[in-house]
Structure 1
């Protein structure tokens, strides 16, 4: 510890994940528990990422941390230096020995302490770890945004096909029945019946007046009777178009109006779905153009002036204590066995 062990310097950095998304208006005691939910999950993912082999491989490819943790030529530190032929698994295990991570679940702040054999190397490694963590958060955000954009585009394509199909069915109905709007046609037919009823009323009044002043036979009465019969037959024919004895008749007005309303509702619903899908796609594309999540450094990577590790006195004291404890247990076992023998 006093002669061979190399001094280790610590660089500290503290950061948290922040979201640029504007949360919706909260209901009273409603969505309060969801505040920071996504940020907290990202922080937990980042906490696990800092201990993974992925970040070790990325940082090693960028600044070659394997070389930085090797002992210089002519020196040997078997306890704290990295072996020259270390595998990636050994490098990951060594990395987890040389860093300390603390995570506060309440605030979402992650504190990272990185040890190295020089102050500049410790700061360089801490900066690389912070930069790679920010890139990983951006990759997660980009992946989520790409998925949201793809789903919104698929929804838009589906809504367009649905709208086309609804409009095609409505056009086929109009082409088949030669009726643009059955409700308007119904109003026209009702106007015809009202006109016939007015004519019938006038003919009945005329017949009554003639009958008061004329005697049989009178050709005017016969003419008015024939007119009344014709009008009544026309009214009966017109009313027969609004309802027939066969309720399953597809040409009856109730069935025509029912089919038209059903098709019209499908078109209106498809139009609303299309407008909503288009708005969702625009929102997803706008969201994808900006960084929705990012790392905020509360403490920038520090540059140490004095070494803090290895803790020579503490390590020596602990080693001596465990050696003495091991010797004591061994001595007690030895004397116990000797007395029994």
Structure 2
């Protein structure tokens, strides 16, 4: 019981620490789940790429119908360049020199989050195992205590009550006296008849 209690306490401390590390990560990065945030960022990039494709089609149609110096063509080209720059800026957040929260790249954030998640899962598994071992040892101790529980406290006999020697001696003497009396009466009775 002592060993399993110590192990349970140790795993509880480790689990608490891993959960605190995860909370500190979330507070520092202001991201609850980097994978969900990453999926959101990918959605932004996908949306921007869709806008870029539409703008490229409009620009190609405009170039076919207008001169290259037309104000609409120039504005369309500026919009294309702005969309490309925006897509490049969003993609740079995923690389090594990312501009994610606190200047970190999303790759670094996801790697750190995954390490913390694995540590937490390991701590939860170890705590679950220690809890099972603790409950098993407690059940075993309770089972074994049934054999050790005393119902009547044992005592040393102070004086024997059985057999009562004096009464037994008096009873034997009385029977012998009665036997002798009967035999004596029989003897005198037979002798008087002769």
- Does TM-score exceed 0.5, indicating one fold? yes
Alignment deviations for residues 62-92 of structure 1 (CA, whole Å, 9 cap, x no partner): xxxxxxxxxxxxxxxxxxxxxxxxxxxxxxx
In 2, Cα distance between equivalents of 1:185 and 1:150 = 45
Residue 108 of structure 2 corresponds to residue 267 of structure 1: no
Quote the residue 2:105 is aligned against.
252
Quote the residue 1:196 is aligned against.
48
Structure number with higher strand proportion: 1
> Which structure would you say has the larger RCO, counting Cα contacts within 8 Å and 6 or more residues apart?
1
RMSD: 2.0
Alpha-carbon distance, 1:245 to partner: 4.4
Alignment deviations for residues 203-235 of structure 1 (CA, whole Å, 9 cap, x no partner): 110011111122243221111011001101101
Residue 138 of structure 2 corresponds to residue 285 of structure 1: yes
Secondary structure of 2:143 counterpart: coil
- Following TM superposition, the consecutive aligned residue runs of length 4 or more in structure 1 with deviations greater than 6 angstroms are none
1:250/1:256 contact within 8 Å kept: no
Partner of residue 165 from structure 1, selected from 3, 7, 17: 17
Q: How does 1:17-56 map to 2 (within 5 A)?
A: none
Q: Which runs of 5+ in 2 are unaligned?
A: 148-194
Alpha-carbon distance, 1:170 to partner: 0.7
Quote the residue 1:243 is aligned against.
95
Alpha-carbon distance, 1:160 to partner: 0.4
Alignment deviations for residues 164-188 of structure 1 (CA, whole Å, 9 cap, x no partner): 0000111101100111111111111
TM-score after normalising by structure 2: 0.70
Alignment deviations for residues 14-38 of structure 1 (CA, whole Å, 9 cap, x no partner): xxxxxxxxxxxxxxxxxxxxxxxxx
Relative to 1, partners in 2 of residues 1:250 and 1:170: Cα closer, same or farther, differing over 3 Å?
farther
2:8/2:130 contact within 8 Å kept: yes
In 1, Cα distance between equivalents of 2:7 and 2:127 = 9
Q: Which runs of 5+ in 1 are unaligned?
A: 1-148, 295-341
Residue 85 of structure 2 corresponds to residue 224 of structure 1: no
Alignment deviations for residues 266-310 of structure 1 (CA, whole Å, 9 cap, x no partner): 111111111111111111011011239x8xxxxxxxxxxxxxxxx
Query: Aligned residue pairs: how many?
Result: 144
Q: How does 1:117-196 map to 2 (within 5 A)?
A: 149-196=1-48
Quote the residue 1:35 is aligned against.
none
Relative to 1, partners in 2 of residues 1:281 and 1:250: Cα closer, same or farther, differing over 3 Å?
farther
Relative to 1, partners in 2 of residues 1:187 and 1:210: Cα closer, same or farther, differing over 3 Å?
same
Greater CA radius of gyration, 1 or 2? 2
Alpha-carbon distance, 1:201 to partner: 0.7
2:97/2:105 contact within 8 Å kept: no
Alpha-carbon distance, 1:255 to partner: 1.1
In 2, Cα distance between equivalents of 1:189 and 1:238 = 8
Residue 66 of structure 2 corresponds to residue 214 of structure 1: yes
In 2, Cα distance between equivalents of 1:259 and 1:177 = 11
